[in-house]
Structure 1
Amino acid sequence: MARAQQPSVSPWQQTIKRLLVRMGLKGCVLLLLAGTFYWFWLQTAVLLPVKQVSVTGVMQQVSSAELRDAVKPLLQDGLIRMDVQAIRDAVESLPWVSGVRVRRQWPDTLALEVEEQQLLARWGDDALVNLRGELFYPSRIEVNATLPRFDGVDGLSQTMAEKYQQYQSMLMTVDLSIAVVKVSERRAWVVGLANGIELVLGREPQSQRIQRFITVYRRDLAEKAERISRVDLRYSNGFSISWKENKVG
């Protein structure tokens, strides 16, 4: 009986087999290296624990202890594996914190560079306004009594902050300062000055009306300021004055 003939293996088939064997060996080596690296990565929480939290920045309302308490639960994974974004979010969730820079500092320190909120005004009775016109809600509000008060509509805090700073700069030229800014649902503005005079500005153009008041105040009204209760500037080319009771003359 004739013997079955073995199929011949071509040179290119032998080459492919050798390549597959080599690739398999390299794959095993790479898998082993990846596994070793991952094991070391898992050990970094033990090998490189966070032992210190360094806090820098000018702070008057938030304490270093509050900041450390906020990040403490997020340090369990060690210096390498800790989630920097989660730490940033935790710190910035504190009402008095405006921003924070988070850095790893070898070999065992988390560094926090904190920027505290810079106050511009009070917002009603339960919130504060920072220099960017953003509202924040601290658990306690203990601020300087001379801080101006904003009473306005939700969503207008940034506009009120911008215009307050503009009007305050204008009024300082005649030694006046703003104590209260009110904006109604109809976007009508009233500005209360620290000397007790109330300026009724209405809607646009408020800046022109402020300038008209400044011109007349400098020329005629400064010496009568103690007698003035209210100045209505909503007229096109003039204004009306309400005098305090028993002070006419």
Structure 2
Amino acid sequence: MPSRGNAARKEKPRPIEGEILMDEKTARRVRLTRWRRLLTGLAVGLLIGGSVGLYVSPLLRVQDIEVVGAAAVSRDEVLSLTRLEGKSMMRLDLAAAERRVESIPMVQSARLERHWPQTVRLVIIERLPWAFWQIGPDRYVIDKEGIVLPGSAPLESGPVILDVSGPPRLAPGDHVDGDAVILAQAVLQRVPQTLAMNVVTLEYSPQQGLALTTDAGYRVVVGDSQNVDYKLAVWKAIEGRLGREAMAGHVLDLRFGDRPSFQ
């Protein structure tokens, strides 16, 4: 007959109501899971706290803005438009600041770069004066894209495009006819190369587009910048057939492709 002591050793523990009994392996796995969750929560908390700390920290706020490439543009005007001084380096809207700087008529492009921990570098490319756009007695300096530049833009001499349409006065930042400006650049370069003559005057109107007079004494209506090579080839062929001297005082109209007119 087994002893009462042996019976006590074999008796299993009775579960307490609401308690789940687990073997040692399962209990170890549960404890490990709890520790992992606790450590993950701590890591997330530290990350969030660190991010907030960096965001509000004066160590990562814009303290210096370097401006590169500003010669004709006022540095103070550029800095006032960036609106970045004292802002968090982590949340700078660089694209918006670039657009504000590019609203300056003399600025062709602006690029902002973060230089950690407290510096922003602004690289500016300024517009270069190229020609004069003349309306009546008034001359406006323009660049190669047809943007009207401030009166302070230096240009001692350059091509003059006479606008006979008589629009209102222009202001810095306004756009003149861009196609006429592109075409003017093309004919000033190509006419001497192709026809061995020089362009003396350039004239623009919305109805005819761009027209020019040459040092051979006749006028050519070119129109727009489409098919410039073809128009020059037609021009050269007509001059070869008629003779340069015979064309003096007349008008050659090249606007209509293979149907040029000569008057």
Could you say whether these structures have the same fold, taking a TM-score greater than 0.5 normalized by the shorter chain as the test? yes
Secondary structure of residue in 1 paired with 2:122 = strand
- Correspondence for 2:212 among 192, 196, 200: 192
Distance 2:104 2:192 in 1: 34
Q: Could you list the per-position Cα deviations for residues 59-95 of structure 1 after superposition, in whole angstroms to 9, with x for gaps in the alignment?
A: 33x2222212212x22221445433223222211222
- Correspondence for 2:69 among 57, 60, 79: 57
Corresponding residue for residue 243 of structure 1:
none
Does the CA-based 8 Å contact 1:76-1:82 persist in structure 2?
no
Mapping of residues 140-151 of structure 1, within 5 Å: 144=155, 146-149=158-161
**2:95 is the counterpart of 1:85:** yes
- Correspondence for 2:79 among 55, 68, 77: 68
Corresponding residue for residue 208 of structure 1:
233
**2:202 is the counterpart of 1:180:** yes
Distance 1:169 1:215, change over 3 A: farther
Kindly name which structure, 1 or 2, has the bigger radius of gyration based on alpha carbons.
Answer: 2
Does the CA-based 8 Å contact 1:59-1:115 persist in structure 2?
no
Distance 1:162 1:98, change over 3 A: same
Does the CA-based 8 Å contact 1:189-1:202 persist in structure 2?
yes
Distance 1:97 1:178, change over 3 A: farther
Secondary structure of residue in 1 paired with 2:184 = helix
Mapping of residues 105-184 of structure 1, within 5 Å: 105=115, 108-121=118-131, 130-131=143-144, 133=145, 135-136=146-147, 144=155, 146-149=158-161, 157-173=177-193, 174-177=196-199, 179-182=201-204, 184=206
Distance 1:50 1:194, change over 3 A: farther
Q: Name segments (4+ residues, structure 1) moved above 6 Å.
A: none
Question: Normalised by the size of structure 2, how large is the TM-score?
Answer: 0.63
Corresponding residue for residue 52 of structure 2:
39
Distance 1:183 1:119 in 2: 22
Q: Residue type of the partner of 2:221?
A: V
Distance 1:102 1:177 in 2: 42
Distance 1:25 1:237 in 2: 86
Q: Residue type of the partner of 2:211?
A: V
Q: Residue type of the partner of 2:219?
A: E
Q: Percent identity?
A: 17
Distance 1:77 1:208, change over 3 A: same
Deviation at 1:220, TM superposition (A): 3.3
Deviation at 1:116, TM superposition (A): 0.9
Does the CA-based 8 Å contact 1:168-1:178 persist in structure 2?
no
Gaps of 5+ in 2: 1-12, 166-174
Q: Residue type of the partner of 2:67?
A: V
Q: Residue type of the partner of 1:37?
A: G
Corresponding residue for residue 10 of structure 2:
none
Q: Could you list the per-position Cα deviations for residues 194-227 of structure 1 after superposition, in whole angstroms to 9, with x for gaps in the alignment?
A: 768531246865333443466579x633xx99xx
Q: How many residues matched? A: 224
Question: Normalised by the size of structure 1, how large is the TM-score?
Answer: 0.65
Deviation at 1:137, TM superposition (A): 5.2
Q: Residue type of the partner of 1:77?
A: K
Deviation at 1:41, TM superposition (A): 1.5
Secondary structure of residue in 1 paired with 2:221 = strand
Does the CA-based 8 Å contact 2:141-2:153 persist in structure 1?
no
Distance 1:115 1:16, change over 3 A: same
Deviation at 1:120, TM superposition (A): 4.5
231-240 or 95-104, larger mean C-alpha shift: 231-240
